Structure 1
Amino acid sequence: MNNIANTPISVLDPSPIIEGGSPEISLKNTLDLAKKAEQWGYKRFWLAEHHNWVGMASSASPIVIGRVASVTEKMRVGSGALLLSHYSPLSVAEQFGTLETLFPGRIDLGLGRAPGTDRYTANVLRQRVAGEPEFPERLQELIAYLYGSGTTMRNGSHVFHAIPGEKTEVPIWLLGSSLYSAELAGMLGLPFSFAGHFAPGNMMEAIKVYRDNFRPSEFLQSPYVLLAVQVVAADDKQEAQRLATSMYQKFLLLTQGKPAPIQPPVENMDRLWSANERKSVEEQLFTSIIGDPAGVKQQLQEIIVKTGANEIMAHTEIFDHQARLRSYEILAQSIQR
């Protein structure tokens, strides 16, 4: 049985933009967090991809991944997730092949199927054309570039190679919040990351589907589940609850159709949400780990035992950067004690 002592922890960072802040400040904070996360023993540091979103600065995630890798030495750095539906597999293979060439043995390619934004922005990004391949076909083409010798046009008239990228074997992950991604990851023998930080309703079923459908492959011999969860830690339980109100406000505003930068914490959420809104937000956040060092350790152990997760990835959006750093430090210490 998995337990807290042998479970690696990692970071999922969207370079959050706070109210009154800027993308420049957010990206600088990402680099600061990455350097400290490596010192604290985090296994990997993934950047989230979102578009047309006022609260996140990591939209061009491959560029940020390269910058993060350049200021760290050993920690793995990757995408959580790169939205493959928006890009050609060849361009993705070239980008991540280049990253792997520059930072050998340190790059992860986490892939997502969802658009990661509203449908209007998705259409602008994709510029869809008739006969465009669906996600599984794109994924197989990408694998051919990174693990094989390229791919050939259907009539055999031309071969395409990813240079750099070919045979770099960048580790590929499937990320998702649905049973579809879980099943596909299992069938292909890929590691699977579940988005428990915003869609925990399907968590247990998705993990089960993944494990039930898992087939050993050239990528992986046994199932590997990375579980993303919200974490807000502070030295005092009441302070952790106060800091977490920024997270609650983010999801409340999303529920209201008003995405916004990360808001300052408040003393009382009841002044901001209705009973129904509170229920909706709490349903999206029931796996969140919030508390002081002892409480965080206990909650972390409980979710590891419940899910059997092989690795935990913390997603922490706190208004104050220093408080955010302290939250990640407390989480790291909870594993080490």
Structure 2
Amino acid sequence: MSMPLSILDLAPIAPGESPTESIAASVALAQEAERHGYRRVWYAEHHNMPTISSSAPAVLIAHVGAHTSTIRLGAGGVMLPNHSPLAIAEQFGTLEAMYPGRIDLGLGRAPGSDQQTTYALRRDPAASEQFPEDVAELRDYFAGTSRVPGVSAVPGDGARVPLYLLGSSTFGARLAAALGLPYAFASHFAPQALHAAVTAYREQFRPSAQLEHPHVIAGVNVVAADTAEEARRSHEQVQRQFAVSLFGRGRTFTEPEVDILMETAAGQHVRQMQSYAAVGTPADVRAYLEEFRRHAGADELIVAHQARDTQARLRSVRLTAEAFEGAPV
């Protein structure tokens, strides 16, 4: 594939679908991505969300890894304040031992949940304030230079699993620059600070043992279909489902009630969150992604294929890849 493209698999649980079916769909998506030349597939840590099955990224990665052979797999990301750095070094060190050279570890400092779920996770609300120190501790476990006397990550000690910092503000960008790590911006759902964050990262980047030059990954939503109308309908349906999951408070909505919801500030908020979206035919999607990469100043794009069901999502994966076959970088 000519453009560096990766996939963020949100592991959705569609209405009427079971988590078992959702996980099987994630396997099928990774296999399709591998066939069509995507660089990597990442899974994000979310909790207490009935429409997302990626609450345990390391477990999901282990399962998908057993059903693929070459594509990189990783977390995009692990919410590090929910965990001890040692536990994550052990988990991803285990994955690296199972699938050598195929594992990435993206790190975020958000809780990935609401306040009640934060309590249920036994997470200290102030834990995110220790994020820079926790990242450094985790990095040192993988480098085989543990900063905790007498403690090493087994497996994981010296595994050198590549770290990526995730963010939606300039905080993560500045930290990634200071540590010399790749930076992934969550523009697929938080577009506002994209330019400020990328600028800060590139201006302040300092080379490290992992990375000599800055590397920016930007998130973008994609719905590729055979016709523009089909893609538009699919994207609209996904936005409606997203609005209900965010603002429905567990209620079941009728279609007329969703119509009303989408006309409120909640609907507008969802549209604004997903304002970076390539929706249309393969040619439409290619044109949008080429322009977005320039607009974002990105070295790589990570796309969230936002389709209404598994088959449509797989079709979007395939059509997007085919749109770039033979095209110049």
Q: Give the TM-score of the pair, scaled to structure 2.
A: 0.93
Residues 43 and 75 of structure 2 are in contact (CA less than 8 Å); yes or no, is this contact kept in structure 1?
yes
1:320 offset after TM fit, Å?
1.8
The aligned residue for residue 68 of structure 2 is: 72
Q: CA, structure 1 residues 253+40, in 2 after alignment: closer, same or farther (shift >3 Å)?
A: same
Q: Identify the match of residue 283 of structure 2 among 294, 303, 317.
A: 294
The aligned residue for residue 232 of structure 2 is: 241
Distance 1:202 1:23 in 2: 34
Q: 252-261 or 77-86: which moved more?
A: 252-261
SS of the residue corresponding to residue 165 of structure 1 reads coil
The aligned residue for residue 169 of structure 1 is: 160
Q: Which runs of 5+ in 1 are unaligned?
A: 153-157
Q: Identify the match of residue 111 of structure 2 among 111, 115, 124.
A: 115
Residues 144 and 159 of structure 2 are in contact (CA less than 8 Å); yes or no, is this contact kept in structure 1?
no
Residues 79 and 109 of structure 2 are in contact (CA less than 8 Å); yes or no, is this contact kept in structure 1?
yes
1:132 offset after TM fit, Å?
9.3
Q: CA, structure 1 residues 189+131, in 2 after alignment: closer, same or farther (shift >3 Å)?
A: closer
- Say yes or no: does 1:253 pair with 2:249: no
The aligned residue for residue 155 of structure 1 is: none
The aligned residue for residue 11 of structure 1 is: 7
1:222 offset after TM fit, Å?
0.7
Q: CA, structure 1 residues 131+43, in 2 after alignment: closer, same or farther (shift >3 Å)?
A: closer
Q: Which runs of 5+ in 2 are unaligned?
A: none
Q: CA, structure 1 residues 300+146, in 2 after alignment: closer, same or farther (shift >3 Å)?
A: same
Q: CA, structure 1 residues 235+209, in 2 after alignment: closer, same or farther (shift >3 Å)?
A: same
1:293 offset after TM fit, Å?
1.1
1:250 offset after TM fit, Å?
3.3
SS of the residue corresponding to residue 106 of structure 2 reads strand
2:286 maps to amino acid: K
Q: Identify the match of residue 224 of structure 1 among 195, 212, 215.
A: 215
Distance 2:161 2:3 in 1: 23
- List aligned pairs for 1:271-282, cutoff 5 A: 272-274=261-263, 276-282=265-271
Q: 130-139 or 184-193: which moved more?
A: 130-139
Distance 2:230 2:77 in 1: 31
The aligned residue for residue 147 of structure 1 is: 143
Q: Identify the match of residue 332 of structure 1 among 315, 321, 324.
A: 321
SS of the residue corresponding to residue 151 of structure 1 reads coil
- List aligned pairs for 1:50-199, cutoff 5 A: 50-128=46-124, 134-152=130-148, 158-199=149-190
